[in-house]
Structure 1
């Protein structure tokens, strides 16, 4: 690499750093340290590896990028602006302001190029696992030799805090078991948390931990500013097809700040005007100017626009060839991506007569699911090691696993949090319609993921069984009492608690047709009578919400 390129690379990197510093200072709020530390990594990833089209952020075969350490949002916003997404310099200046396109933490649907809402640490890692699972499933179903129409990677940046969270264990453990070779996490090992050096609370040997998960691990040491080392590690991670990859890099939070580098103060507060001037001096940057973007930086980084258009154009040609060679599969692929429900999907859903009862609503749900599952081939899901109890198996014999990614049953293991968050990742990825199941009481282990799914308006379906104190002999630890009220308090989630088997059938109809938010079916273990609908209102009225079951006489 010549000196001119070295200079341009550094100019681009320092532009990312200074935009983050200036925007956070302008807002008088934010987290400057990580954007300053990870700017070289972001630059290498977005200019040399990531496949995306800034003019069409929803292009299907793009690589997915998740900023799990969402507090470092200005890192992502700066790169999105510089590479030509629909973000202006004014949007950067409006960081953390009301109704801006650059909120304090990344929000799906607000900022072009943001793949998921992050902030609660660990959530993005679990989302990324779901995205990689969806990619693996679709690739296994639709790709044919010479016609690889599903071929992309999922990258995630994560922090010390992400890996401290138990959520990261659930996600990494499952990803390693499934052998998700197109999942790459980059761990920012900066040794700093809000309260000080991470030695206070975190002494894990992360490399050994991930090796035990059956991940491919690279430890770059103190090379966060070495562009060649970063690029080499990313290349090796992409070459590893059998295992997910972890790249560890020892960065310096607040890099370049003479008084804040490697301190807790660099983490979550603006540097201050004087410290920014001193830091810009270290970078060789105009000290008293704000939001400086050199023209040659825009010229360099906005090459991503033409590069992205070409990538999508080539994929469109590839898909056109695929359609000619495999017309039926192409139609199925397009239907899966659209998410549109096939006509007649519910034609086989059973009707239950009063003599069919009593029947537990979880059992009725299992019958309903089996009746329509084949009509919606992109429906996939499972439970947190409770499928026999929750009645959520589509096919009784096989599970999604390494080497058999076409299977729709997912064995999530006893990982309720990861199950629900990964389902969000699958929904965000597209091409699959996920559902998740466990006992209703264990929603307490998954609530953060359920809340974020509702915030993002994701059409995830939750099948929660063993409702009410009627689970009896399992005792109070398994008896949901406050869960229904607390979950109904979450905005944009639809919670349906069917009173009999026919209401279950219509509850599933409501869940499948709802496209802009999650739906939760709350089902009983105990058998319930089936109402005689010749004497009572039709169960179809459930689709309207509350209804009068039996009208007064006279």
Structure 2
């Protein structure tokens, strides 16, 4: 190991200790142990340009063990990214660019939001899949637009999480040769040695997944072996690679190699000893040796030149010889892939055949696939039931990634995390994944991160209520919809018919910084009077023109046709406005005046609102005075019998409607305005105004 390697690695270790100690919070052990790997990767292997963090052909570097992000921030600073030393001093402070776990929309150079262990690993698999697909779309014999590599660091905790097993199996099956995962084999977790929980043979495990595995025995100091292992992994193109690096957590600390150094600051006394050991002034903090700065400037200048050469090649040879591919590249890098004209979406009229919204979704998806070539995705072994197969394309497969269909297998959690990686690879990729709505519970760890990291994954979820029938309460997702609605930066659509299904897709795709969930029925639903594609833009709207209602019936999805029928039976007895609240999140974005016009009566009069949804009633109290919904789990039986058992019939809605009107006619004071509320927050943020 050269003198500059030794100096740089030890400088990184000292910086990591300073960063965590100054914050009095964080994880110093992993950065100090993995400093040699990070230095080797950045100085010898990684293609990047800190001056252009979004350069399309950059190598990607993800931190699955995101608690060690002090290391990532230090390397980004040394790599010339817009991350000044002052930001390292503000680690884990409100408003800094160095949050407690990496966040892709906060810190330049951070590719994905990680922290929950294993997510970054699975995101890297998604990025590698995106890379393989786009190579087939963009590369030509004369110009390799894409030849980058996806690198991810992970630790013992990541490999214990189930999402990693799902993603690793998937990656090995497809032979994703652009993926290189570096495993920090330090044999320590929060509770102590891995001897108490994790004694499997990781090398054999990944070899059984059909991965290429390389082991570096002396990861604390053997830069040459690290470099050789990384190059071996990078050059292996027929399968993903795992580089197992044996390290000492918290290397240099008096408590190195123990759980104590994992997740707590070392203390200034220990840090001073570390600095003395490594030849730094023990009293100085946040020092970067001039030789290290000069060395990394040379690295950064070299990488910037490589990027400039790529730009030149793309903007001359490629642009001139392949103008259509060049135009597609611009769309993929800008994210400007959505159509300007949506008239191709299917529309329906009353009297058209009753169809399940999952089948209507199938029609819409084919139209969208023709209009948006960047739309790719698949199902968790349920394509025949979710109806999400792109008919004019084939599946991506080992050795041929030109297709747009993805066979994710029965790997819901991994599927969602892989889609996050697909989206993160290129702004113009629009990934979708599909399963039964119930299994959002399986993939919630990843789908929640779609929202946190502002990734527009499209979740196509079928079998959306007790209406799925005989499979029973284990598969009936009564609590999933309220869970998603409670998740910030998520859009949930539950369309009632064909027009709303087309509209749900349109307005889901227009959310470019948020995931969307389409909740679709198994059972057939009629095409309704008053629905339209563009009405979905409001989130909620009236289907009839009753201006002076005595009662407002509001529902979503399959229950909208139910309240339509109930209103018809109530005609002449009760004046009823019928409202479809297809997307709560879009409805909340409307003006107070509009919301009042939908859920209040004539001239702002408050009238009783009764909601009907074959799911949990949780959350409905903000829109309705009384709810017909699920307060228990469902049951096994034919859908029609379940709807009758739990009260989702025209007769019951009519009966309850009359009871509600009668009750509130005698108890006017019990009516509160459910829509008109004071605004306690500034700019839609959780900040109380001064």
Normalising by the residue count of structure 2, what TM-score does the alignment of the two structures yield? 0.78
Number of corresponding residues: 546
Cα distance in 2 for residues equivalent to 1:284 and 1:158:
29
Q: After the TM superposition, which residues 86-97 of structure 1 pair with which residues of structure 2 at under 5 Å, given as runs?
A: 86-97=82-93
Does the CA contact (< 8 Å) of 1:339 and 1:433 recur in 2? no
Q: Does residue 1:300 correspond to 2:270, yes or no?
A: no
Match of 2:532 in 1: 538
SS of 2:399 mapped into structure 1: coil
Match of 2:274 in 1: 279
Match of 1:114 in 2: 110
Cα distance in 1 for residues equivalent to 2:198 and 2:392:
42
Match of 1:164 in 2: 160
SS of 1:443 mapped into structure 2: helix
Change beyond 3 A, Cα 1:125–1:345: farther
Cα distance in 2 for residues equivalent to 1:155 and 1:460:
22
Q: After the TM superposition, which residues 430-469 of structure 1 pair with which residues of structure 2 at under 5 Å, given as runs?
A: 430=426, 431-469=428-466
Match of 1:395 in 2: 391
Match of 1:496 in 2: 493
Match of 1:514 in 2: 511
Q: After the TM superposition, which residues 140-539 of structure 1 pair with which residues of structure 2 at under 5 Å, given as runs?
A: 140-258=136-254, 260-320=255-315, 321-341=317-337, 343=339, 346-395=342-391, 398-430=394-426, 431-532=428-529, 536-539=530-533
Match of 1:41 in 2: 37
Does the CA contact (< 8 Å) of 2:499 and 2:531 recur in 1? no
Does the CA contact (< 8 Å) of 1:393 and 1:409 recur in 2? yes
Cα distance in 2 for residues equivalent to 1:224 and 1:337:
38
Cα distance in 1 for residues equivalent to 2:53 and 2:183:
25
SS of 1:313 mapped into structure 2: helix
Q: After the TM superposition, which residues 59-74 of structure 1 pair with which residues of structure 2 at under 5 Å, given as runs?
A: 59-74=55-70
Q: Does residue 1:10 correspond to 2:14, yes or no?
A: no
Cα distance in 2 for residues equivalent to 1:341 and 1:420:
22
| Cα distance, 1:323 vs structure 2 | 1.3
Does the CA contact (< 8 Å) of 1:20 and 1:78 recur in 2? yes
| Cα distance, 1:553 vs structure 2 | 6.1
Q: Does residue 1:551 correspond to 2:545, yes or no?
A: yes
Deviations 1:36-73 (A, max 9, x none): 10101100000111000001101111000001000000
Cα distance in 2 for residues equivalent to 1:131 and 1:461:
17
Deviations 1:415-450 (A, max 9, x none): 111111111111111142101110000000111111
Match of 2:557 in 1: none
Cα distance in 1 for residues equivalent to 2:410 and 2:404:
18
Q: After the TM superposition, which residues 24-35 of structure 1 pair with which residues of structure 2 at under 5 Å, given as runs?
A: 24-35=20-31
| Cα distance, 1:221 vs structure 2 | 2.1
Deviations 1:496-545 (A, max 9, x none): 1111111001001112222111111111111111102xxx2534211111
Cα distance in 2 for residues equivalent to 1:537 and 1:483:
25
Cα distance in 2 for residues equivalent to 1:529 and 1:391:
19
Match of 1:128 in 2: 124
Does the CA contact (< 8 Å) of 2:451 and 2:490 recur in 1? yes
Cα distance in 1 for residues equivalent to 2:328 and 2:393:
24
Cα distance in 2 for residues equivalent to 1:202 and 1:9:
33
Cα distance in 2 for residues equivalent to 1:42 and 1:537:
56
| Cα distance, 1:240 vs structure 2 | 0.6
Cα distance in 1 for residues equivalent to 2:531 and 2:369:
28
Cα distance in 2 for residues equivalent to 1:375 and 1:397:
13
RMSD between aligned residues: 1.3
Structure 1 residue runs of 5 or longer lacking an equivalent are none
Does the CA contact (< 8 Å) of 2:393 and 2:404 recur in 1? no
Does the CA contact (< 8 Å) of 1:68 and 1:123 recur in 2? yes
Quick one: which of 53, 58, 63 aligns to 2:54? Answer: 58
Deviation larger for 294-303 or 476-485: 294-303
| Cα distance, 1:344 vs structure 2 | 5.4
Deviation larger for 189-198 or 220-229: 220-229
Cα distance in 2 for residues equivalent to 1:90 and 1:553:
60
| Cα distance, 1:552 vs structure 2 | 1.5
SS of 1:20 mapped into structure 2: helix
| Cα distance, 1:398 vs structure 2 | 2.5
Cα distance in 2 for residues equivalent to 1:135 and 1:276:
42
Cα distance in 2 for residues equivalent to 1:357 and 1:280:
76
Cα distance in 2 for residues equivalent to 1:223 and 1:89:
27
Does the CA contact (< 8 Å) of 1:224 and 1:230 recur in 2? no
Q: Tell me: higher relative CO, structure 1 or 2? Use CA pairs within 8 A at least 6 residues apart.
A: 1
SS of 2:541 mapped into structure 1: coil
| Cα distance, 1:27 vs structure 2 | 0.8
Normalising by the residue count of structure 1, what TM-score does the alignment of the two structures yield? 0.96
| Cα distance, 1:467 vs structure 2 | 0.5
Cα distance in 2 for residues equivalent to 1:553 and 1:57:
55
Does the CA contact (< 8 Å) of 2:169 and 2:209 recur in 1? yes
Cα distance in 1 for residues equivalent to 2:410 and 2:338:
33
| Cα distance, 1:335 vs structure 2 | 2.1
